[in-house]
Amino acid sequence: MLVQTLDEAERWIVAGVKIIACASDTVVLTIGYGAVVWRLRRTTDPAFVRSRR
């Protein structure tokens, strides 16, 4: 369950949810994975490099 606050997390845990993710965590993961994809494409895909010029 994606939550914004500790109160929301506690409410969902009481309701039986087993996986809780804070919204800020998902943003960090999204940015991190985006950087990995960008770097891999930049170094391995010539079409990607040309499209960025």
Question: Phi first, then psi: what are they for 18, rounded to 5°?
Answer: -95, -25
DSSP summary character for residue 3: E
* Residue 11 pLDDT exceeds 90: yes
| Domain coverage including residue 28 | 24-53
Distance, CA of 11 to CA of 25 (rounded, Å): 19
Q: Assess if residue 36 is contained within a domain.
A: yes
Helix extents (H) in the chain: 6-14, 23-44, 46-51
* Residue 50 pLDDT exceeds 80: no
Q: Assess if residue 3 is contained within a domain.
A: no
Helix H or strand E encompassing 22 = strand 21-22
Q: Assess if residue 6 is contained within a domain.
A: no
Distance, CA of 24 to CA of 21 (rounded, Å): 8
Q: Assess if residue 13 is contained within a domain.
A: no
Q: Assess if residue 11 is contained within a domain.
A: no
28-45: pLDDT as tens digits: 888 888 998 888 888 887
pLDDT band at 13 (very low <50, low <70, confident <90, very high): very high
Question: What's the domain count of the chain?
Answer: 1
Residues written for the chain = 53
Q: Assess if residue 2 is contained within a domain.
A: no
Q: Assess if residue 31 is contained within a domain.
A: yes
